[in-house]
């Protein structure tokens, strides 16, 4: 149990003296006074609140260097932690309080602090450390004749000495307590006297046993010495006999060894002859194998030489065929380029424009389209399924169908162009929607501009339209279905928008946005491309094309191009 009856009274008196003197200033004294009152009013009433006030009092007392109020703050925190069974923290604050008390040289306070530390140590089963604190407290309280604290220390020492097995010391403390509580003394004194007597009896019994053991040891030693002498004499006789026997055995073993050595020499000679015969057989056999192997290798050499001649002929044939195929594909590229819209067509219809067209192989599955029908300008960026030769066949088919729809049928509604084109693709590829059927088709963005009213129509199959106006980006998204067979087929959406002078329009395939980066192996993505349109839109379109192409090459690095690329940019 923590001793605190004296501490509160002394701290109260010292704080009142400090407050009356007016330490530092009137405002500061009032602050400490308020904290003191709050600590005093909440102590043992609301410990959580009291702990908060005590911490504030500690902080302010350190700032003003007031040891007496700081000691009170430490004491209150230690007491609350003790009540909350947080004994390690309790010891920490009691030790801080003790250091401050030792400065004041007031023995009653120091004795009380030692007692509180001893009580807390007992809670943590630190019995030896607690005993030392109680002894120090008892020594001081005896000098100043503090009977209450002397009684408390003797009571605590009787408990701790019993735990440590120091029964005499425990009895001494109980004798002191005799004058205070006779009944308790009689009960306890008998217990300790019994334990002390039992301990003496055990010691006496052990001493008797020790004497018996010593006597037995002396007798055993005497017998052992006599036996040792006899054993030495017997040993010498035995050694002499063993020596003669050993000489005889050594002579016999020597004769046996010579005999064994002769037999071994004979066997060694026989094994040597046998080994020579074996080596001769191996040499002859090896020579025969080498002769046969040489013949086989010579035949293999002749055969390989013939095969190399044939392979060289075949390689030349394949190389020639590849050259012919490549020439055919290059010729197909010239045909494909010839049917694409010319620069003149773009220059006649737009004040500024660019076409960034970069096939993955010689021929491309992407293409671009431009036609003027009456007062309508129709242009599109188209991405056919696949690339290379298969993609090129689809692009030629798509170009032919678009020309038929726009030029021959003079269709000028964007969504209708896609609807009709889808029907042509499905019919030409015999697409009926059956399982395992070819799903080839096209993704594209189609724009139709009325040159008289500046009304724009847009329809998209997956691909979007981007418009830059006054440094702001406007996007029209395409429908989520291709120009081809689709399980949720519906009419394409026709978007309308009134254009203004200097508007810039961009349509594109997915070749740029899907391109992988050399370092990160990640895609460029649509968001980054739209941001590129916006950031480079302040320059003219021919300059913008250079910037876009540089960005593509920089992003791709040495990584291979994975798809065809087409981007169209026009200015109104």
Structure tokens that stand for 98 in this block: 């003790």
Cα 482 off chain centre by: 43
Backbone phi and psi for residue 137, each to the nearest 5 degrees, phi listed first? -65, -40
Strands 442-450 and 472-476 turn out to be unpaired
**Average pLDDT of the segment spanning 46-57:** 89
Please report the domains of the chain, with CATH numbers, ordered by start residue. Answer: 5-196 (1.25.40.10), 341-571 (3.60.40.10)
The residues, any chain, with a CB within 8 Å of residue 128's CB and separated by 6 or more, are: 164
Among 567, 571, 569, smallest CA distance to 500 is for 571
pLDDT for res 411? 96
pLDDT for res 259? 67
Structure tokens that stand for 105 in this block: 């040289």
Query: What does the CA dihedral 39, 43, 46, 51 come to, rounded to 10 degrees?
Result: 50
**What average pLDDT is seen over the chain?**
81
Residue whose structure tokens are 């004798």? 175
Q: How far apart are CA 524 and CA 531, in angstroms?
A: 11
What are the CA-CA distances from residue 526 to residues 261, 286, 444, 533, 547 (Å)?
A: 95, 73, 15, 11, 17
Among 467, 461, 470, smallest CA distance to 496 is for 467
pLDDT for res 24? 41
Residue 60 has pLDDT above 80, yes or no: yes
Q: What is the pLDDT of residues 505-538, one digit of tens each?
A: 999 999 999 999 988 889 999 999 999 999 999 9
Residue 4 has pLDDT above 70, yes or no: no
Among 161, 91, 95, 156, smallest CA distance to 128 is for 161
Q: How far apart are CA 497 and CA 384, in angstroms?
A: 27
- More confident site: 336 or 480: 480
Q: How far apart are CA 141 and CA 201, in angstroms?
A: 37
CB of 66 closer than 8 Å to CB of 18:
yes
The residues, any chain, with a CB within 8 Å of residue 499's CB and separated by 6 or more, are: 449, 454, 455, 456, 467, 505, 572
Residue 345 burial (CB < 10 Å; 0-12/13-18/19+)?
A: middle
3-class SS string, 186-224:
HHHHHHHHHHHHHHHHHHHHHHHHHHHHHHHHHHHHHHH
CA atoms within 13 A of residue 55's CA, in its CB half-sphere: 7
Instruction: Using pLDDT thresholds of 50, 70 and 90, give the confidence band for residue 9.
Output: very low
- More confident site: 203 or 135: 135
Residue 156 has pLDDT above 50, yes or no: yes
Residue 173 has pLDDT above 70, yes or no: yes
Q: Name, of 217-226, 318-327, 554-563, the range with top average pLDDT.
A: 554-563
319-328, 384-393, 422-431, 435-444: which has the minimum mean pLDDT?
319-328
Structure tokens that stand for 565 in this block: 């690329």
Instruction: Using pLDDT thresholds of 50, 70 and 90, give the confidence band for residue 460.
Output: very high
Q: What is the pLDDT of residues 114-155, one digit of tens each?
A: 999 999 998 899 999 999 999 999 999 999 998 888 888 888
pLDDT for res 15? 46
CB of 4 closer than 8 Å to CB of 76:
no
Instruction: Using pLDDT thresholds of 50, 70 and 90, give the confidence band for residue 13.
Output: very low
Instruction: Using pLDDT thresholds of 50, 70 and 90, give the confidence band for residue 318.
Output: low
């Amino acid at each position: 149990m923590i001793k605190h009856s004296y501490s509160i009274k002394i701290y109260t008196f010292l704080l009142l003296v400090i407050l009356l003197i007016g330490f530092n200033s009137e405002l500061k004294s009032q602050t400490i006074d308020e904290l003191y009152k709050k600590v005093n009013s909440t102590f043992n009433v609301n410990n959580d609140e009291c702990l908060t006030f005590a911490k504030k009092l500690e902080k302010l007392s350190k700032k003003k260097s007031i040891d007496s109020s700081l000691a009170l703050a430490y004491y209150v925190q230690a007491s609350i932690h003790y009540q909350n069974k947080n004994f390690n923290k309790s010891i920490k604050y009691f030790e801080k309080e003790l250091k401050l008390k030792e400065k004041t040289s007031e023995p009653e306070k120091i004795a009380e602090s030692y007692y509180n530390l001893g009580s807390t140590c007992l809670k943590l089963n630190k019995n030896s450390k607690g005993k030392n604190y109680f002894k120090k407290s008892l020594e001081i309280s005896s000098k100043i004749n503090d009977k209450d604290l002397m009684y408390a220390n003797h009571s605590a020492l009787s408990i701790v000495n019993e735990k440590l097995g120091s029964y005499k010391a425990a009895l001494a403390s109980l004798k002191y307590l005799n004058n205070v509580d006779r009944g308790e003394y009689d009960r306890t004194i008998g217990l300790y006297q019994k334990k002390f007597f039992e301990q003496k009896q055990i010691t006496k019994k052990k001493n008797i046993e020790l004497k018996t053991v010593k006597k037995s040891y002396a007798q055993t030693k005497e017998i052992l010495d006599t036996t040792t002498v006899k054993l030495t004499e017997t040993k010498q006789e035995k050694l002499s006999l063993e020596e003669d026997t050993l000489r005889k055995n050594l002579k016999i073993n020597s004769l046996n060894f010579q005999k064994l050595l002769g037999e071994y020499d004979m066997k060694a000679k026989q094994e040597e002859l046998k080994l020579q015969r074996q080596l001769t057989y191996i040499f002859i056999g090896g020579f025969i194998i080498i002769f046969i192997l040489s013949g086989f290798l010579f035949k293999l050499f002749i055969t390989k030489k013939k095969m190399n001649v044939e392979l060289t002929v075949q390689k030349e044939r394949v190389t020639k065929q590849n050259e012919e195929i490549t020439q055919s594909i290059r010729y197909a590229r010239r045909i494909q380029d010839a049917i694409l819209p010319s620069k003149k067509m773009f220059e006649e219809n737009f004040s500024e424009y660019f076409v960034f067209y970069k096939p993955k192989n010689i021929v491309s599955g992407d293409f671009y389209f431009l036609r003027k029908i009456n007062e309508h300008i129709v242009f599109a960026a188209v991405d056919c399924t696949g690339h290379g030769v298969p993609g090129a066949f689809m692009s030629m088919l798509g170009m032919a169908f678009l020309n038929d729809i726009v030029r021959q049928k003079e269709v000028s509604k964007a969504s209708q162009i896609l609807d009709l084109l889808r029907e042509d693709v499905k019919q030409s590829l015999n697409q009926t929607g059956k399982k395992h059927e070819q799903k080839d088709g096209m993704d594209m963005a189609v724009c139709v501009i009325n040159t008289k009213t500046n009304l724009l129509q847009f329809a998209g199959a997956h691909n979007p339209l981007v418009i830059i106006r006054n440094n702001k980006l406007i996007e029209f998204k395409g429908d989520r279905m291709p120009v081809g067979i689709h399980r949720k087929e519906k009419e394409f959406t026709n978007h309308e928008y009134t254009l203004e002078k200097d508007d810039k329009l961009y349509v594109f395939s997915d070749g740029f946005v899907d391109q992988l980066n050399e370092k990160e192996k990640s895609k460029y993505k649509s968001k980054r491309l739209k941001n590129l349109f916006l950031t480079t839109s302040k320059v003219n379109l021919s300059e913008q094309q250079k910037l876009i192409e540089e960005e593509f090459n920089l992003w791709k690095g040495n990584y291979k191009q994975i798809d065809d690329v087409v981007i169209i940019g026009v200015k109104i």
